[in-house]
């Protein structure tokens, strides 16, 4: 019974196997019957980020693949399967895209499509300028830009106008040849014709500093008026080749009208005022004598830290140098404080009087460095020595130039009509020389070069202890020539009788 079932199973398997055979699918009649490609079209999608990226999606009926010719000189077409797309980056311009559609049996159809790539103008242009003396640094950023061009405004006579290229997040710096106002132009480029432009005017120049003489083209001589003053840099009323500060105290100007020397930032370096070096000088041209000129210095960051002092003009319509000593502050104002920073100065012309249109000029604003005490030999040429002299008995002595050599500095003493017979001039201040004269029994002489109006004039020289005038010695020499320099020798071994 079991054996019979086994035989039946084998027979059934053989029957199944013998009923199977391999089939071949070699019928291509459906290809030959494929529809011709037709109704070719293309969808173009241009990104709006100025990259020029275009997505090209061809469509058609009966098309299995496409050849896309970009039209920009690319040699080989892109192969695109039905239902897919291709991407390509274009420069700004006009292009003709050609699409060739293929069906399964090799038939083709083609079409063309015009493509215009136009970049949008950059947006949100943000430009920053940083000034340092004569130099300006520019940074810029924008959306949709490819490059910036910076035009500095100082070479407009050249064609084409030169520019510096600038990339976003970078900086470009330009140094001007001289101080002044310049218009900077920054152009943001899109990569095509569209652009966005920014302009700004900058005033460049080194920050003003002492001494101030208004002649250096590299400095910014901007002044800051207040109280209805009106200032400008103008020609010297006596020397048109020299530039000076001109200040008009306009009609109706405040009694406190003034002019700050420079901008609100003041000087580049503080004025080194101390109680031992407390002076500044200003050369002033005033319309009248007897007018009060105030000079005030302060901390540009803290106006409460200030000191001011006054000087009265002594001349009308001519230059004079006024010396301002801050050890003598104006009544009711703070005293000089050496611990303060004084880096800003203001001039007040005809202080305390309402403006009436008076015109003043100023030049050579200087700090007066502390001078060393006079000492032998005395030649009046050193700029660091205090050559102050002390007249008595109505003598009048002033700085002058050598009558035979304009390059040499001397003292001119005038014994005016009515001066005392004993009128004289102490060389230096009452404290005398820095070191004592080393007289000994064998070293008794001093010499002086003298220019006298006549021969035969007695010249007396006296030496004394500045702490005790009773300790003194005097001697004389007589001039031998007129209107000519001669060296007179004074021998204190031959002292004047009665001295």
pLDDT of residue 2: 42
Is 228 within 8 Å of 247 (Cβ atoms)?
no
Torsion of CA 314, 319, 325, 326, to 10 degrees: 110
Torsion of CA 398, 402, 408, 410, to 10 degrees: -30
Which of 17-26, 45-54, 207-216, 306-315 is predicted least confidently?
Answer: 17-26
State the pLDDT confidence band at 31, using cuts at 50, 70 and 90.
low
What is the torsional sign of CA 7, 8, 11, 16?
A: negative
Helix (H, G, I), strand (E, B) or coil at 250: coil
State the pLDDT confidence band at 383, using cuts at 50, 70 and 90.
confident
State yes or no: pLDDT of 362 exceeds 60.
yes
Count of CB atoms situated within 10 Å of the CB of 166: 20
pLDDT of residue 387: 94
pLDDT of residue 1: 39
Within 8 A by CB and 6+ apart from 403, the residues are 451, 483
CA 196 to chain centre: 28
pLDDT of residue 13: 34
Question: Domains, the chain, ranges and CATH?
Answer: 31-117 (2.60.40.10), 123-204 (2.60.40.10), 224-368 (2.60.120.430), 390-491 (no CATH)
149: which strand partners?
165, 187
87-113 exposure pattern, b = at least 16 Cβ within 10 A, e = fewer: ebebeeeebebebbbbbbeeeebeeeb
**Which residue did the predictor score with more confidence, 210 or 132?**
210
State yes or no: pLDDT of 317 exceeds 60.
yes
For the chain, how far is it from start to end, CA to CA, in angstroms?
Answer: 178
State the pLDDT confidence band at 169, using cuts at 50, 70 and 90.
confident
**Average pLDDT of the segment spanning 137-141:** 96
Quote the mean pLDDT of the chain.
92
pLDDT digits (tens, 9 = 90+) for 77-105: 999 999 999 999 999 999 999 999 999 99
pLDDT of residue 426: 97
**Average pLDDT of the segment spanning 311-324:** 98
pLDDT of residue 231: 98
Helix (H, G, I), strand (E, B) or coil at 17: helix
The fraction of the chain above a pLDDT of 70, given in percent, is 92
- Long-range residue pairs from 304-307, CB within 8 A, at least 24 positions apart, any chain: 305/337, 305/340, 305/341, 305/342, 306/333, 306/334, 306/342, 307/273, 307/333, 307/334, 307/335, 307/336, 307/337, 307/340, 307/342
pLDDT of residue 33: 58
State the pLDDT confidence band at 163, using cuts at 50, 70 and 90.
confident
| Nearest alpha-carbon partner for 412 in 428, 385, 389, 378 | 389
Q: Is the pTM of this model over 0.85?
A: no
Q: What is the CA radius of gyration of the chain?
A: 48
pLDDT of residue 160: 64
| Nearest alpha-carbon partner for 44 in 121, 111, 116 | 116
**Average pLDDT of the segment spanning 413-442:** 96
State yes or no: pLDDT of 29 exceeds 90.
no
| Nearest alpha-carbon partner for 284 in 245, 255, 248, 256 | 245
State the pLDDT confidence band at 444, using cuts at 50, 70 and 90.
very high
pLDDT of residue 35: 84
pLDDT of residue 93: 93
pLDDT of residue 26: 54
State the pLDDT confidence band at 371, using cuts at 50, 70 and 90.
confident
pLDDT digits (tens, 9 = 90+) for 254-270: 999 999 999 999 999 99
State yes or no: pLDDT of 3 exceeds 70.
no
State the pLDDT confidence band at 484, using cuts at 50, 70 and 90.
very high
pLDDT of residue 161: 73
State the pLDDT confidence band at 32, using cuts at 50, 70 and 90.
low
Is 215 within 8 Å of 255 (Cβ atoms)?
no
pLDDT of residue 158: 62
């Amino acid at each position: 019974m079991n054996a019979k079932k086994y035989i039946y199973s084998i027979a059934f398997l053989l029957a199944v196997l013998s009923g199977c055979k391999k089939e071949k699918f070699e019928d291509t009649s459906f290809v030959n019957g494929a529809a011709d490609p037709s109704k070719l079209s293309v969808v173009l999608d241009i990104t709006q980020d100025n990259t020029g990226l275009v997505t090209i999606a061809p469509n058609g009926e009966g098309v299995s693949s496409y050849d896309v010719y970009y039209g920009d000189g690319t040699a080989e077409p892109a192969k695109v399967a039905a239902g897919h797309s291709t991407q390509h980056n274009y420069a700004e311009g006009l292009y003709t895209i050609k699409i060739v559609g293929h069906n399964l049996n090799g038939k083709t159809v083609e079409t063309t499509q015009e493509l215009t790539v136009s970049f949008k103008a950059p947006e949100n242009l943000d430009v920053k300028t940083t000034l340092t003396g004569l130099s300006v640094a520019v940074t810029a950023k924008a959306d949709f830009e490819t490059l910036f061009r910076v035009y500095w405004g100082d070479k407009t006579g050249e064609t084409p106008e030169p520019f510096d290229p600038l990339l976003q997040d970078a900086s470009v710096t330009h140094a001007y040849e001289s101080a002044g106002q310049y218009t900077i132009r920054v152009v943001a480029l899109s990569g095509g014709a569209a652009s966005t432009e920014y302009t700004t005017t900058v005033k460049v120049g080194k920050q003003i500093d002492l001494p101030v003489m208004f002649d250096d083209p590299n400095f910014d001589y901007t002044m800051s008026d207040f109280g209805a003053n009106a200032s400008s840099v103008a020609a010297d009323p006596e020397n048109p080749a020299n530039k000076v500060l001109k200040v008009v105290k306009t009609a109706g100007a405040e009694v406190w009208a003034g002019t700050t020397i420079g901008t609100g930032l003041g000087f580049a370096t503080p004025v080194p005022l101390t109680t031992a070096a407390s002076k500044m000088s200003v050369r002033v041209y005033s319309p009248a004598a007897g007018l009060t000129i105030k000079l005030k210095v302060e901390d540009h960051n803290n106006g409460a830290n200030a000191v001011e002092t006054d000087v009265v003009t002594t001349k009308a319509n001519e230059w004079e140098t006024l010396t301002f000593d801050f050890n003598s502050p104006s009544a009711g104002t703070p005293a000089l404080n050496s611990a303060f920073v004084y880096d800003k100065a203001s001039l007040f012309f005809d202080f305390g009087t309402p403006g009436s249109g008076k015109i003043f000029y100023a030049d050579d604003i200087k700090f007066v460095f502390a001078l060393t005490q006079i000492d032998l030999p005395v030649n009046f040429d050193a700029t660091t020595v205090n050559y102050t002299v002390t007249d008595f008995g109505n003598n009048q002595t002033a700085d002058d130039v050598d009558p035979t050599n304009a390059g040499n500095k001397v003292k001119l003493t005038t014994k005016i009509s009515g001066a005392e017979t004993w009128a004289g001039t102490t060389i230096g201040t009452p404290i005398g020389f820095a070191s004592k004269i080393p007289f000994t029994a064998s070293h008794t002489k001093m010499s002086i070069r003298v220019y006298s109006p006549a021969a035969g004039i007695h010249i007396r020289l006296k030496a004394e202890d500045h702490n005790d005038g009773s300790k003194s010695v005097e001697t004389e020499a007589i001039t031998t020539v007129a209107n000519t320099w001669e060296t007179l020798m004074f021998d204190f071994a031959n002292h004047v009788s009665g001295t």
